Structure 1
Amino acid sequence: MKITVDRDACISSGICALDAPTLFDQDDEGVVLLRTDRPAAEDEQLARDAALACPASVITVTEVE
């Protein structure tokens, strides 16, 4: 799995950082920061859920082998 974020389109809701703090954080302006683009297996569902919950749809999860 690979995670990407579009920081330019982020609306700073913070849902990702609250729901998946091992994967996401926010900078001083509240814009999403990606902690890792290759999550551990146990965090993959958190990444999928964060992508679905993002109100601006700035999180993309790509399944890779």
Structure 2
Amino acid sequence: MKIKVDFDLCESNGLCEAMAPDVFELDDDDLLQVHTDETTPENLDRVKQAVAACPRAAISLEGDE
């Protein structure tokens, strides 16, 4: 599944980083960086949690599982 981030909505509050630090990271300027745009079997559950936790619904998943 593809990870999509709407950076216009993103507040960089770091909830996604807390849920999936191997995928999401806030840089030194507190801007969200996405390390990969594809989920893996190992990170899918954590990415889904990050999507659900995003207060601005800035993160979504596209495609089939």
* TM more than 0.5: yes
What's 1:26 paired with? 26
- Structure 1, unpaired ranges of 5+: none
- Structure 2, unpaired ranges of 5+: none
Quick check: 2:19–2:50 contact (8 Å CA) kept in 1?
A: yes
Query: In structure 1, what residue type is equivalent to 2:53?
Result: A
- Counting aligned pairs with the same residue, the percent is 37
Superposition pairs of residues 1-65 of structure 1, within 5 angstroms: 1-64=1-64
In the alignment, the residues of structure 1 paired with residue 63 and residue 46 of structure 2 have an alpha-carbon distance, to the nearest angstrom, of 14
TM-score normalised to the size of structure 1?
Answer: 0.85
Quick check: 1:7–1:31 contact (8 Å CA) kept in 2?
A: no
Query: In structure 1, what residue type is equivalent to 2:59?
Result: I
* Count of aligned pairs: 65
CA RMSD, Structure 1 to Structure 2 (Å): 1.4
